[in-house]
Amino acid sequence: MHHFAYRNGTLHAEAVDLARLADEVGTPFYCYSTATIERHYRLFAEALGAEAHIFFAMKANSNLAVLRLLAKLGAGADTVSEGEIRRALAAGIAPGKIVFSGIGKSDRELAFAVDQGIYQINIETEGELYALARIAAANGQRQAVAIRVNPDVGAGAHAKITTGSTENKFGVSMSDAERLYGAASSMPGLHMCGLAVHIGSQIRDLGDLEAAFARMADLVVRLRRAGHRVARLDLGGGLGIPYEMSEAVAHGPDLIQAYAAMVRRVLGNLDVEVGFEPGRLIVGNAGVLITCVVRHNPRPHKTFVIVDAAMNDLIRPAMYDAYHDIWPVTEPGPDVSSRPYDVVGPICESSDQFAAARRLPVSGPGDYLAIMTAGAYGATMSSTYNSRQLVPEILVSGGRFAVVRPRQTFEALLDLDQIPDWL
């Protein structure tokens, strides 16, 4: 369920009129709903139970206000860089609730994580394991470690978001995991505590997840038989959401409940602390990108609707061929006709397209449109390509709103560069 609906002829985020908001702050901008984030987090947390550890996957949305909101709800953070660890700390997430994942952690990043005393580092390569042992021992510390296993079960809605196949770069093989777990158990500086797995993103069929979790359960049993302590199992994230907003109310809670039941069925007898790393599931449907129609470009066989948002603001359609619903901010009346449009941005790339042959109510210059389900992998993946400014992010709570990231100024954009004195 999301909290975007038409009231008195205008799309609202909770009780905030998005047309008035667009008039005030200008377009394009991201808008996030506090009520939706809270609801999705609580649905997930309640389904998994009080003993589950929930680490929000910050790569989905790393705005400090969103992180602070999730921290107050009890979430930890799943991070993949030093910058994300610093953001989590700045948002008030305790070090003891931060997991550090990622395939290419540098020695500097590992040293920073160890120095902060974070909850767990998920090791993804043999070289990283030895580097971390050396770094932690040199600092006189013992860092809690899990080994990320690649179970050769890949899943996800697109090849570019599948992470659990042997063709993917993430984690170590099952056989290497057994060998490395044994070796690491005697390394100074390390406290071997468990295993981690993450097979992909936007997964809505639980079959692949169940297969991967079953393989992890077998590995836990084998390690214990070999005399090793396995106290934690990090199951990653990847649970999908509906991008067709009409499905959001009906299918979201059902999928979460089915997922929780599957986890209990497959892993319930292991007696391990279980961690989860949801990201998109919590914030995806909680955000929209508001944009304005600049003009039309009619062609013999189609009409382009050119909007002021672009692929640098929301790259998912260009990168993943991703679908996003597009709603007019002004509710169309019964007499408003519709027609197919290609909705495109102003970037000098043919891939700068949000929708092709999408039937939408007739629009004109100055009309506002809402690109739905943009709360995950939207602002975090944005760029300044074509020297475009980063757009505002706005958090709504009831009838209140706050600009939680202001629009980048051109002065700030230019100040990122420096011209050498010889020029």
Catalytic residues, by residue number, are 348
- Residue 94 CB partners (closer than 8 Å, separation 6+): 76
User: Contact, 237 vs 279, CB < 8 A?
Assistant: yes
**Scanning the structure block, which residue is given the tokens 């992010």?**
393
Determine the Cα angle at 386 with ends 159 and 310, to 5°. Answer: 55
Report H helices in 185-247: 206-225
Residue 350, classified by CB atoms within 10 Å of its CB into exposed (0-12), middle (13-18) or buried (19+), is exposed
- Please give the structure tokens belonging to residue 158: 């697109």
How far apart are the C-alpha atoms of 292 and 384, rounded to whole Å? 19
User: Contact, 44 vs 54, CB < 8 A?
Assistant: yes
- Please give the structure tokens belonging to residue 419: 């011209």
- Phi-psi region at 243: left, alpha or beta (left = phi > 0; alpha = psi -120 to 50): alpha
User: Contact, 234 vs 270, CB < 8 A?
Assistant: no
Amino acid at 159: A
- Please give the structure tokens belonging to residue 89: 């700390």
DSSP per position, 104-119 = T--HHHHHHHHHHT-S
Residue 337, classified by CB atoms within 10 Å of its CB into exposed (0-12), middle (13-18) or buried (19+), is exposed
**Scanning the structure block, which residue is given the tokens 């279980």?**
274
Determine the Cα angle at 90 with ends 88 and 96, to 5°. Answer: 50
How far apart are the C-alpha atoms of 409 and 177, rounded to whole Å? 48
User: Contact, 326 vs 45, CB < 8 A?
Assistant: no
- Please give the structure tokens belonging to residue 48: 């998994």
How far apart are the C-alpha atoms of 132 and 136, rounded to whole Å? 6
How far apart are the C-alpha atoms of 295 and 373, rounded to whole Å? 24
- Please give the structure tokens belonging to residue 217: 């359960």
